[in-house]
Amino acid sequence: MADPIRWARYRWQRLISTEGRECSSNNSSSKCYQSSRTTGKHRIVIPCLGHFKEEYEKVSKLYMNNKIRTTRYTLLNFLPRNLFEQFHRVANLYFLFLVVLNWVPVVEAFQKEITMLPLIGVLTIIAVKDGLEDYSRYKMDKQINNLVTKVYSRKEKKYIDECWKNINVGDFVRLSRNEIIPADMVLLYSSDLDGICYIETAGLDGETNLKQRQVVRGYSEQVSEIDPEEFSSRIECENPNNDLSHFRGFVQHSNMDRVGLSKENLLLRGCTVRNTEAVVGIVVYAGHETKAMLNNSAPHYKRSKLERKVNTDILWCVLLLLLMCLTGAIGHAIWLSRYSEIPFFNIPKPDGKSSHPVLAGFYMFWTMIILLQVLIPISLYVSIEIVKLGQIYLIQNDIDFYHEKTDSTIQCRALNIAEDLGQIQYIFSDKTGTLTENKMVFRRCSIAGQEYRHEENAKRLESYQEMDSDDEDSADCQCGSSICTSKYQGHNCRTVCEPLNRKSLNQLSGSYSAFKRQDEAGGIPHSRHMAFSSPIETDVVPDTKLLEKFSQISFHSYHQSEEASSKLSLETMYITDFFLALAICNTVVVSGPNQPHQKMRLSSLGRMPIKSLEEIRQMFQRFSVWRLSSSPLPSVKESSSESPNSFVRKLSIFRMKLASPTLDGAAQRVSEPHNTDSPENSQVPQELHPVNVAAGGELNSAVSSIELSPLPKLCYEAESPDEAALVHAARAYKCVLQSRTPDQVTVDFAGLGSLTFQLLHILPFDSLRKRMSVVVRHPVSNKVVVYTKGADSVMMDLLRTASKVHTNNSEIEEKIKERTQQHLDDYARKGLRTLCIAKKVMSDAEYAEWLNHHFLAETSIDSREDLLLESAMRLETELTLLGATGIEDRLQKGVPDTIQALRKAGIKIWMLTGDKRETAVNIAYACKLLEPEDKIFALKSRSRDACALVMSKILEEIQKNASVKKINSEKLGNVSASPSTQAQGFNAGLVIDGRNLEHVLHDSLQNIFLELTEKCRAVVCCQATPLQKSVLVKLVRSKLKAMTLAVGDGANDVSMIQVADTGVGIAGQEGMQAVMASDFAISQFRHLRKLLLVHGHWCYTRLTNMVLYYFYKNVAYVNLLFWYQFFCGFSGTSMTDYWILILFNLLFTSVPPIIYGVLDKDVSAEILMEFPQLYKMSQKSLAYLPSTFWITLLDAFYQSLVCFFVPYFTYCGSDIDIFSFGNPINTAALFIMLFHLLIECKSVTWIHTVVIIGSILFYFMFTLAFGATCKTHSLRSDFYWIMEKHMTDPVFYLVCLLTTCIALLPRYLIRVLQGTLFPSPVLRAKYLVRLASEQKKAIRRWKDECNVNDGVQLQPTSLPSSSAAGAVSDEESTDSVFPASKTPFQTCSRDGLVKNTSFLPDIQDESGSTSGLNSQEKREFIEVN
């Protein structure tokens, strides 16, 4: 067969047609169609046209229309539904219970309206908030539903404007450029000649790189737009689901032929059409059934650890409330039984009977619950939410989180777990893009067992200095080709043609700025930033040795290498195929530099200065003659023997290939051999320009008659940085990827000219296969070739064995495999990312056989992924190894320092990566996750039992080494107490790969695995799948009850981020999926240091102190009411007015603790960054221990006793009324609580002062106004003019002052003693920094005095004469500069805090702020802690 592809397709169609005819002969075609599908599992889409009218009406009723509604309420159900939702909260139910209880006459404690106020206020505020939010959603829904698009009308027989909400499944929709896709639809037509539609998916996954979607196979060849009236096919696909990465289905034509559908044929709702003039599709999912809407689920609510603890303590408060109410009930019953005969205390009922004391006590129990309701700090929840919002605001406005290069800052996507940042115990980090920059730099390669070190490129990278952010941003806007030209050209064009020397390498940093200025002066428009296009990624200096071999490749030599088997010819073939694989085995999109996302089409007509139609005709004839004589397509004779449809198909392919014949590349090199603007000339010496082409004289005559303009500059848009790095590496060797369409890939190869490969299949990368492949028809050999690249852990097992290789080549291939494996191991040890490159040549029969099975997989719906995986694995066997690549992914700035600081903070860090073991370990050493003195244990086993045995042995060895180290440390400690002479503890690291992770994650081995990891300082998991990452995080979180944080930057980290207690996404170069799934998003890993050590510590300590203060405040105030019950017969009365009682916590004392929770700062950010050990305080919850809670309650009881009994004994025996007695108590309680807050504040700002003074003034203003206007004529007492009288009484002021001092004196004394005799680590750190700063200032003053008095410039005596130039710096040690007797300060030793005599910081910035302490001080600080 001349064309096995079409033969296989023809046979497959005949097979399907035969089955369809057999089925229709028995029944009917419609019945056959129904029998072929599984009812209930699939969706049938039928066009809404006349000949499908009846069937469409039946099917369409089952599907939703495109109208969406994201609102929760309507006008009718808003009030009942909102109330129903609010009363799901326990706090609101508690308020409701109190309101209902107060309406019962026998237990009424307050006026009915007063108890309703808090509940009505809370419900109203929340209802208004929910209503406004829902109204904004309603307006957005209305706006979206009323968007207009073109929909085909079967009545008017044309496309008409229709609102989105009126679109139904089966409608034909026509979209234009930059139009948003209204529903999920299958692409049936594109104005692009290749049947491609470009869409932007930023609204779904955050990725800015454009995605290609293809017209359904069989519809891409149509010349005109599809006519809906002629569409007579049905679509069967899967039911609606939220899987954005998969789509299963097929199109079934009227003749029962099937064409498979995949995600490449599906346009998703919410995406935007780009760079395509018009597309037409048929809707398969509409409205809430679209994948975008199904992914709009409510965010997962995470409850912080502190919130769970607060709920527990509130239960204790409930028990305390019940105990107090029970005490009041029993006391009231005893009181009534003792005075039962006195009517004054036991008022009889209207019938003359008195209540039984037990029944009265039961009623009093519920009355006391109403009276003491404030004990349950319901307002605490509202305050916590407000404080968290304030903390999030401060985090988001921290300037240190701003990354100028990406113009991004931190995003706080979860508002309720900020305090969890201060309690992290485990960090699970991805490697690529998280610890590293995700900027892949091509470093080395191995081809045919020969390594090429690219030393010139290594020198360039060593001399390459990162530019300032402005220059870097400008560089990123340039395309790879232009940057390469600028880098190696500079001001001298001869740099392109001359070999790179040391001098040219040293000029790299200066040449870029000049080129940038030239571009700006020339008015070159800059495109927007594209991923993976920075200069360090795109610039590759070719290896001299490889370049020399590459220059010898020609059309003739490549033909000889295909036929001969000599070592030289094989090497030529290996080099050629290696670079071809780098260029085409990817999904890179080629676009223009000044028009990003604009597809490049190689058009000879567009590049040539044509002046007349006659020249066009002559040029077409020349191209036709050349193409028919040397084209890899079948000959005219072969074509004539085939069917007309096949011949038309070939003509369309011929038309596509005509734009890029071999002549193009050669002609340009002949006509413009020194064009420095051409991307091909940027890095290749001059001797590469002449090309030997098999076409001979015909080519020369064509070249002589045609003048070609230079090729346009190209930009590459890749989905991964690895692909971009390999394409740019191939480009450096003149193997330039010129264009890509769904059917072909064009490569401009030096020596071979422009090669157009017929693209048959792309088998994309997946985490199971760990490789990707492309199947092409080679234009030179006309054979089907499979190019594959992937991880060496799987690729080496797919190579063909020696028994199946030709005898002459078997030894060569074995040597190549052995040497390549050595090179791969060497690359991995150096921390490079490795990839194996291989190929496979298939015969037409083999390809046709595989194609039959692949079509079955493509057209299936059920288990489609499994079938496609099986098909891909069947193809990717018996490969021939071409070589390997080593790509460097550099560490991000500040990663080692961040990891060291986090480790000092007591956080264990695990690195989870998909890279191979050697690469992961090397990066772990580079980022100081592993230290040179650590003992590394690699877990290697082939079975579960062996894995358990190995872990047991490792545990024994760790325990043995730890005990030996401990004994040695104790011996050394007895000899000398100096920290420098003491032996360090034993540190172990664990390295485990994906295969062994399967064993240790089994239930039987989980416990021993966790025990082993707890004894290791660091864990490196390599070759781990995304699922294994999430299972590891879940295992540590559930089994060890540890607070976990997961950080990653890619889609493969999403599951891990969602499972962890706190998920952090890094806005890297691989889209925004990790960011969208995270709780916090940062731009650099180093920002994690301040986020945890500073803001995590602050958020936790602020919130815990505020929570404890709320418990103290409520308990103290409620106890005032409780103590009064002992003097009023437990009657449930209050010594203050009910309005003041309710508003005391609601208004007078509510704002200060909120400000305290938002702004309090126990220690500065500089100290927290300098001493990461302080993080352990929040990590271990030292600020909120159970003992702290109960001590706070005891202090509240004590202060309430003082606050009640000091006024009681003051006014004892007087004739003041009940409110005159309660007003001093209430006022003193206000002062006590506010000044208690001042004592607890670690940093008092003007805001604290204003709020506290404002609260006091507001209280007095309210009570004065209330006392002057509220005259109730109550039978008990009246608050009228009470405060006004007390304001003129000196005793009132004395009572308030004395009560406040006595109540706060114990807490104040404890804080003073705690700060002097038993300082906390925070106080120690603050003292160390303050002392160091004072000493440095004293040194400066003393030196200035010495210079003025003596006029002598001091020099260090211990330094050699060659280095003794200039005055001694402030950072020098005083012992080496000044005599001991002249030191202006004495040795400091304060309560055992500081014992070092040479107490000087080693670093100080210009502003005088201390940024470092010497090692001795830090060592002492760590030992104290």
Element (H, E) at 20: helix 4-26
Query: How many Cβ atoms from other residues are within 10 Å of residue 149's Cβ?
Result: 22
Which residue is it, tokens 């050493």? 925
- Contact, 841 vs 783, CB < 8 A? yes
Q: Which residues contact 1308 (CB under 8 A, 6 or more apart)?
A: 1239
Range 400-408 contact pairs with CB under 8 angstroms and sequence separation of 24 or more: 400/1087, 400/1090, 401/1082, 401/1083, 401/1087, 401/1090, 401/1091, 403/1083, 403/1084, 403/1087, 404/469, 405/469, 405/472, 405/473, 406/1067, 406/1083, 408/1067, 408/1083
Comparing CA positions, the residue from 94, 93, 92 lying closest to residue 373 is: 94
Q: Which residues of 784-799 are buried (b: 16+ CB within 10 A; e: fewer)?
A: bbbbbbbbbbebbebb
Strand pairing class (158-163; 148-153): antiparallel
Maximum Cα interatomic distance, the chain, rounded to a whole number of Å:
134
Q: Where are the alpha helices (DSSP H) in 350-446?
A: 357-371, 379-396
* Residue of 604, 20, 65 lying closest to 283 (CA atoms): 65
On whether the CB atoms of residues 1047 and 1085 are closer than 8 A, the answer is yes
> Is there a contact between 542 and 684 (Cβ–Cβ < 8 Å)?
yes
Amino acid at 1025: T
- Counting every residue, how long is the chain? 1425
Phi, psi of 665 (to 5 degrees): -65, -40
Q: If DSSP codes are grouped into helix, strand and coil, which group holds residue 1016?
A: coil
CB atoms within 10 A of CB 355: 16
Q: How many Cα neighbours within 13 Å face the side chain of 1298?
A: 14
CA angle 180, 182, 184 (to 5 degrees): 115
CA distance 1394 to 1387: 9
CA separation for the pair 620, 1000 (Å, rounded): 67
Distance CA 1089, CA 427 (A): 12
Query: What is the 3-state secondary structure of 318-358?
Result: HHHHHHHHHHHHHHHHHHHHHCCCCCCCCCCCCCCCCCCHH
By CB atoms closer than 10 A (0-12, 13-18, 19+), residue 1040 is middle
CA distance to 791, 827, 926, 1050, 1373, per residue, from 1021 (Å): 16, 19, 16, 17, 45
- CB-neighbour burial class of residue 143 (10 A; exposed 0-12, middle 13-18, buried 19+): exposed
CA–CA gap between residue 904 and residue 950 (Å, rounded): 30
- Separation of first and last alpha carbons in the chain: 82
DSSP annotation of 593 = S
Say if strands 172-176 and 258-261 run parallel, antiparallel, or are unpaired: unpaired
* Residue whose tokens read 């271990």: 1180
Please calculate the CA angle 232-237-238 and round it to the nearest 5 degrees: 165
**Short-list 865, 884, 1049, 848, CA closest to 438:** 1049
Structure tokens at 100: 């209902």
Active site (catalytic) residues: 430
Quickly count: other Cβ atoms within 10 Å of residue 462's Cβ.
9
